[in-house]
Amino acid sequence: DGGITQSPKYLFRKEGQNVTLSCEQNLNHDAMYWYRQDPGQGLRLIYYSQIVNDFQKGDIAEGYSVSREKKESFPLTVTSAQKNPTAFYLCASTSSKGANVLTFGAGSRLTVL
Amino acid sequence: QQQVKQSPQSLIVQKGGISIINCAYENTAFDYFPWYQQFPGKGPALLIAIRPDVSEKKEGRFTISFNKSAKQFSLHIMDSQPGDSATYFCAASTGGYSTLTFGKGTMLLVSP
């Protein structure tokens, strides 16, 4: 079945550590996105990529980094510079250059101890 | 700056009742308005969407009403069921290469 796979589903890290969240899609979608979800805050865009080897900052990119070396993969690194990293992270993709129909993964919950 | 304002933040409806969630926007360039449904521990999924050339779109028990002059759109869930209990997000985009801007979400609980 086609879809988006995010891993790990749950992740704990200590303050000061970088952590990388994986996102893989087999939908042959061009564009991929990372959102952060906090209670009562909705979905906030971190980074997005519309083509391999290119990506743009979203609304809350500070403290995060991404890469897009393959069409299928869009990993997100939460760096130690992110002041409040505990959150639910969602990866999404879409087949069009516009973001009209997003397919989301099941999410990764990061907790900083 | 929040470009899409969603209300209420939470909603409790009895089984069989009508659930209504409202969203308002400022950017008149928005031309696509989807609603996403998210169950606990899962990613959101597209529920229904509308473009501003129509005032209403219905899919089963779910209806979007759109008021272009008021810059508002709403989701109506008729005959609400406990299985509809989820968080609902409205969103908007300007199309083309733009990204979606989401509202803050409404947590709906349908009581049996």
Closest to A73 (Cα-Cα) out of A23, A3, A20: A23
Count CA atoms closer than 13 A to A103's CA, side-chain side.
18
Closest to A43 (Cα-Cα) out of A30, A33, A51, A57: A33
Closest approach of B3 to chain A, Cα-based (Å):
12
Nearest beta carbon to residue A105 from set B43, B93, B97: B43
Q: What is the pLDDT of residue B2?
A: 57
**pLDDT digit string (tens) for B22-69?**
999 999 999 999 999 999 999 999 999 999 899 999 999 999 999 999
Q: How high is the mean pLDDT of chain B?
A: 94
Contacts of B93 in chain A (CB under 8 A): 98-100
Q: What percentage of residues in chain B have a pLDDT greater than 70?
A: 96
Residue A1 scores a pLDDT above 80: no
**Average pLDDT estimate for A93-98:** 75
CA-nearest residue to A9 within chain B is B41
Q: Residue B80 — pLDDT band, cuts 50, 70, 90?
A: very high
Q: What is the pLDDT of residue A103?
A: 93
Q: What is the pLDDT of residue A99?
A: 60
- The structure tokens listed for A1 are 């079945």
C-beta contacts of B46-49 below 8 A and 24+ residues apart: B46/A101, B46/A102, B47/B75, B47/B88, B48/B75, B49/A100, B49/A101
Residue A40 scores a pLDDT above 90: no
A4 or A82: which leads in pLDDT? A4
Residue recorded with tokens 């005032």: B55
